[in-house]
Structures are given as structure tokens and as C-alpha cells.
Structure 1
Amino acid sequence: MATIYYTGCSLDGFIATPDHSLDWLTSRDIDVGSDMGFETFAPRVGACAMGASTWRWIVENDAQGWKPKPTWVFTHRDFPASEQVRFTTADVPQVHAEMVEAAGDKDVWIVGGGDLVGQFHDVGLLDEVWVQFAPVTLGSGAPVLPRHVELRLEEVARNRDFLCGRYTVVR
């Protein structure tokens, strides 16, 4: 079992534009079934965590596409109730323990955003970072990980338009 941040990112280090758009990412050519693609990654996942902005994007753009895995949304905002997610303001270690239990022998996926991932890292609960780098620069937006985090490169792959890297967190 590992806690993994799996995300797409612009070459200059952003996961979303300043207005939370992902159009620059979703318009790219990618093989979701490749070695580091989403369809290969998803079966490993037993539970998910995300922040409020990520959940809001899913609700507004792809609510039907969200698969019903146990999901925790860290937020102080009000959202309509959902059978798919648990909304929480609890501390990361407490929720992580619940997520690990729900995941069983599978991994925990931190969907985003970068600050939430940083909170997992700050308490020693981030194990891997998988990034699919898109061939675009945004100039500003939501940073992929707004913390100093030491990583060790474990694997690289090309997935059509994307350069993919899998890193482990150096403790």
C-alpha cells in the first residue's frame, strides 16, 4: 500500500490555470491504457482524497466520470450531499487512517490539489508522485506541489504527447 499523488502538469509546474481550467490538459493526446496511463493506475486505487477545488471541477465537468471509490474531500465549503464522497475538515493523519482502512490492500490516491498533497507530505504520509507533463506552459495557476519535497526518479515513459515520471519521496 502506498499513498500516491497522480496528476497531470504543465511544463512550468501548474496543474490548473488561475481560473481552475483543465482545458489545456484534457485536449492533449494520451493513451489512458498505457503503462503509466490512468486506466493502468486506477485499478491500484482503493481510496481517494482531494481538495474542494478539485471536487468542484469534477462536479462541474465530469461528475458522471467519477468512479465510486471511497473518496474524502478536504473542505470548509458547503457542497450538495453525495453518496460518492465524505466531506471532512479533520486532520490529514486521522483521515489517512480511515482511507487506508477503506483501501484494504490497494493504494491511496491524492487526486489534488498540490497544497493538500503538501499537507500529506508534511506529516510523512506521501510515498510517491506520478506526474504526466503536458507540452504546454501556463505561466501561472495552481502549482503542482507548493512545498519543498525531495524526490527520487524511479521510472520514466512517453505517453503520446506526455512525458511521464514516477518518483518516490525521499525521507
Structure 2
Amino acid sequence: MTTCYYTASSLDGFIATVDESLEWLLTQDIDEEGAMAYPGFREGLGAMAMGAHTYEWIVHHGDGWDYTLPTWVFSHRDLELPEGADIRLTQADVRQVHAEMTERAAGKDLWIAGGGELVGSFADAGLLDEVWIQYAPVTLGAGAPVLPRALDLELIDVARNRSFLCGRYRVTGALTAGEDVVV
């Protein structure tokens, strides 16, 4: 079982615009059957977690909730949940939620869908194993960063998915204060 952050990012490192929109992503040309494509990734999943903004964007801008995975949504407020969906609202510590997700996933992978700050909380707790980023051929200039943490990553796979450059990284640890970042 692996805990993954699978997301798309602009080339300049943002997952959403300043006004928290993902509309920019929906205009991009991506191959749903290509290497490291979303449908293949989704097949290996047993549970997922996301923040309230990600959840609300999916519910209000897509075709509704189409996930069948047990899902934990981190929120400090009540949110309307689709009838029959396997969703839990939580304010619990990520360690507790990770343990619950692991139990429900029955050996399958866990997906931390975003946003970046939530993923950072999992990374801070040592609970993030891999980061998969699909880099879109667009820059946003500002917005929500893909991962607002200093992490040391090891590239383990790379692919092209039409116009997207896809990278899969293993999390090897957090960069500590005073470490030099080689550019």
C-alpha cells in the first residue's frame, strides 16, 4: 500500500488559480489512456482524502460526485454530502485519518487528492510515500502551490501524456532548516 498525491500542476507550480478555480485544467489536452493517466491510477485505489475546497469544486463544477471510494473530507464546517456517497467529514489529525483509510482500503493505495496544504500535513506526519504530478503546458502566475512544503524527492518514473509531462516521485524526506537546495 502506498499513500500518493496525484495531481495536475501548471508549469509554474500551481494547482489552482488565486480564486481556487481548476477551470484552467479542463481546457488542457490529456490522454485518458496514456502512461500515468488518471484512469489507470484510480484502479489501484482503496480510499481517498481531500480538503473542503477540492471537494466543493468537484461537486459544483463537475458532473456531481462520481467517486465510489471511501472518502475523508477535511473541513471545519458542515458541507452538503451527496446521498449514498461514502464520505466522512473530519477535523481529525491526519495520523488518525490515515489509519482509518488504511483499514478501509484493504491493501490498496491511498490517494491524498489535495489541496497542497492538506498533502503537506500528511507529509509532515511522514505519511506521504509518492507524489505524481501531471505538468500542464500553461502558467498561472499565482495561485495555490502544488505542495507548500520543502520535501526531498527521488524521480522514479516519467512519461508524456499528450501535452502533459508526467513525473512520479518517491518522498525521501523533508528538507531540514539549513540544508542547501541544489538548483
Deviation (angstroms), 1:152: 0.4
Letter in 2 for 1:99: M
Equivalent residues in 2 for 1:93-132, closer than 5 Å: 93-132=95-134
Match of 1:67 in 2: 67
Deviation for aligned residue 1:65: 5.0
Identity of aligned residues (%): 59
> Can you give the 5+ residue segments of structure 1 that lack an aligned partner in the other structure?
none
Contact 1:58 1:66 in 2 (8 A): no
- Matches of 2:66 and 2:12, distance apart in 1: 27
TM-score by length of 1: 0.97
Secondary structure of the equivalent of 1:36? coil
**TM-score under structure 2 normalisation?**
0.90
Corresponding position of 2:52: 52
Structure 2: give runs of 5+ residues left out of the alignment: 174-183
Q: How big is the shift at 1:78? A: 1.6
Which amino acid in 2 is paired with 1:151? L
Q: Distance in 1 between matches of 2:9 and 2:86?
A: 26
Alignment RMSD (CA, Å):
1.0
| C-alpha distance in 1 between matches for 2:55 and 2:23 | 16
Report the secondary structure of 1:110's partner residue.
Answer: strand
How many residues of Structure 1 are paired with residues of Structure 2 in the alignment? Answer: 171
Which secondary structure does the structure 1 equivalent of 2:73 belong to? strand
- Aligned to 1:170, the other structure's residue is in SS state strand
Alpha-carbon separation, structure 2, partners of 1:54 and 1:145? 14
Q: 2-side partners of 1:139 and 1:48: how far apart? A: 29
Instruction: Report SS of the residue matched to 1:98.
Output: helix
